[in-house]
């Protein structure tokens, strides 16, 4: 369930609809819509996203037409229930369909790129979605430290080549004091709460979900929080309300 204070806080800070000069960014490892109670409930996730007033939602661990999901396009179902645009980036073929990451956005994307990232235990991917004033990046990094460090180099190279600022969000499988996050923080500005833990959802002990920024002028962070949601997934979602330069 949603904590009572969460909806009130977001209503005052990042309520829907967001102000025209702000951007509400969420990252959520949705565990393919299966909660800590073992129930697959897309509508439950949609209510959490809607309550946050999110303009952009970086999604990790989501199926597309797999047998275990009864042939459902989970990201598309979430998009329909939140009235957002879905962009899916498969990482692996799985159980008759595909499995990977995605983005939900209020605004129609201008362009989309999908790039492979290192993953010894499982192939990983980077999703780059262009909008008028910025590019949104989504990823779910490897469980292996060497792969995460190799991914940092790729992320830095891609960000340096972009003509627009990059917002990067996802499940990085790494805590703020890990080598990968410390390396990434040399060129990216961390935006999300680096103290409050995000996993596991029912009793979180580690902070492995992050929102970061790469650009000439970092945005003003008007609010940043880990949502007190212990059931809907095995991760808690993170939300940042930003004021970007030029918005």
**Percent of the chain residues topping a pLDDT of 90:** 82
Q: For the chain, what percent of residues have pLDDT higher than 70?
A: 92
pTM, whole model, 2 decimals?
Answer: 0.92
88 backbone dihedrals φ, ψ, rounded to 5°? -105, 140
For residue 237, is pLDDT > 70?
yes
Percent of the chain as helix, strand, coil, to the nearest 5: 25, 35, 40
The band of 12, judged by pLDDT with boundaries at 50, 70 and 90, is very low
Strands in the chain per DSSP E: 23-29, 56-64, 85-94, 97-105, 111-117, 124-130, 135-140, 166-171, 189-190, 209-214, 220-226, 238-243
pLDDT value at 221 more than 70: yes
| Gap between the Cα atoms of 138 and 196, Å rounded | 21
pLDDT tens string 180-194: 999 999 999 999 999
Q: Is 173 left (phi over 0), alpha (psi -120 to 50) or beta?
A: left
Is the predicted pLDDT of residue 15 greater than 70, yes or no?
Answer: no
Q: Cis link prior to 28 (omega < 30° from 0)?
A: no
Residue with structure tokens 């030029």? 246
More confident residue, 27 or 69: 27
Confidence of residue 13 (pLDDT cuts 50, 70, 90): very low
Range scoring the smallest mean pLDDT among 16-30, 35-49, 143-157? 16-30
Domains present along the chain, CATH in parentheses: 4-243 (3.60.10.10)
Q: Is the pLDDT of residue 1 over 50?
A: no
């Amino acid at each position: 369930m949603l904590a009572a204070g969460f909806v009130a806080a977001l209503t005052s800070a990042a309520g829907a609809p967001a102000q025209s000069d702000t951007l509400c960014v969420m990252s959520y490892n949705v565990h393919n819509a299966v909660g800590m109670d073992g129930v697959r409930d897309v509508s439950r996730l949609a209510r959490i996203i809607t309550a946050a007033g999110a303009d952009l939602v970086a999604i990790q661990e989501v199926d597309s037409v797999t047998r275990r999901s009864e042939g459902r396009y989970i990201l598309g179902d979430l998009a329909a229930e939140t009235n957002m645009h879905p962009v899916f980036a498969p990482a692996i073929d799985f159980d008759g369909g595909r499995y990977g990451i995605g983005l939900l956005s209020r605004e129609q994307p201008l362009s989309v790129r999908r790039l492979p990232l290192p993953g010894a235990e499982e192939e990983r991917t980077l999703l780059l979605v262009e909008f008028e004033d910025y590019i949104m990046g989504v990823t779910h990094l490897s469980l292996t430290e060497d792969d995460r460090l190799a991914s940092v180099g790729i992320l830095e190279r891609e960000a340096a080549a972009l003509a627009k600022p990059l917002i990067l969000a996802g499940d990085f499988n790494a805590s703020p004091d890990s080598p990968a996050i410390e390396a990434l923080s040399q060129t990216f500005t961390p935006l999300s709460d680096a103290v409050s833990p995000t996993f596991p959802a029912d009793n979180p002990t580690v902070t492995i979900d992050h929102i970061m920024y790469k650009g000439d002028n970092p945005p003003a962070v008007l609010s940043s929080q880990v949502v007190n949601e212990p059931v809907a997934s095995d991760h808690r979602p993170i939300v940042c309300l930003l004021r970007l330069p030029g918005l």
